[in-house]
Chains A and B, each alone.
Chain A
Amino acid sequence: GENVEQHPSTLSVQEGDSAVIKCTYSDSASNYFPWYKQELGKRPQLIIDIRSNVGEKKDQRIAVTLNKTAKHFSLHITETQPEDSAVYFCAANDGNQFYFGTGTSLTVIP
């Protein structure tokens, strides 16, 4: 089955700096790659996603890149703000189910 690895597990950045979180996957059948943000005590919420036929997608300060050949995808957050502090999860979907990474705890220091 699919195996999704996520790095780093924790990340601290100064407010205004950029943050990058990276994930790799193993199954070339996976074709949908979402990123979820989870605040403490809350449910995961989708912040951006990308399909396998696209290399990059951007939504304001958030962007995701996908390299199908290398089987890795990354989340980029620019101009970070304290409210970006949360746990971020990547995932891969093979058409039936999601496989999640183990999460990155991002802290933005004011």
Chain B
Amino acid sequence: NAGVTQTPKFQVLKTGQSMTLQCAQDMNHEYMSWYRQDPGMGLRLIHYSVGAGITDQGEVPNGYNVSRSTTEDFPLRLLSAAPSQTSVYFCASSYGTDNYEAFFGQGTRLTVV
């Protein structure tokens, strides 16, 4: 198993540009989530999904969109990048009910200039 695969690892965007961060898992996990990690603020939930076709907002959803058309994939879209979105982004997945252990992707370091 590859686990949780997240791409790209690094990205620099100009303000106003859009992009998609990719996340895929091959563990047949129902639950998938996106977090951003900023110094001193831990991991903050952006969006999450409890299964294909179902998504919901987390703590900091503004400026981001997600979709979950398959169990395996959960892309995160930045619609119009802003410097405040400079952060490290992590995707995570877990089985869900009765087995919550979360597995993280390698992270994406995004800089918006």
Q: Compute the total of residue contacts between A and B using a CB distance below 8 Å.
A: 52
Interface size of B as a range:
20 to 34
Do B100 and A100 have beta carbons less than 8 Å apart?
Answer: no
Do B40 and A89 have beta carbons less than 8 Å apart?
Answer: no
Do B102 and A34 have beta carbons less than 8 Å apart?
Answer: yes
Do B50 and A96 have beta carbons less than 8 Å apart?
Answer: yes
B100: contacting residue among A9, A32, A89, A99, CB under 8 A = A32
Cα A44 to Cα B45 with chains together (Å): 14
- From residue 40 to 77 of chain A, which have CB atoms closer than 8 A to chain B? 42-46, 49
**Highest count of chain B CB atoms <10 Å: which of A49, A96, A98, A99:** A98
Residues in B lying within 8 Å of A, measured CB to CB: 33, 35, 40-45, 48, 50, 56, 58-59, 90, 92, 97, 100-107
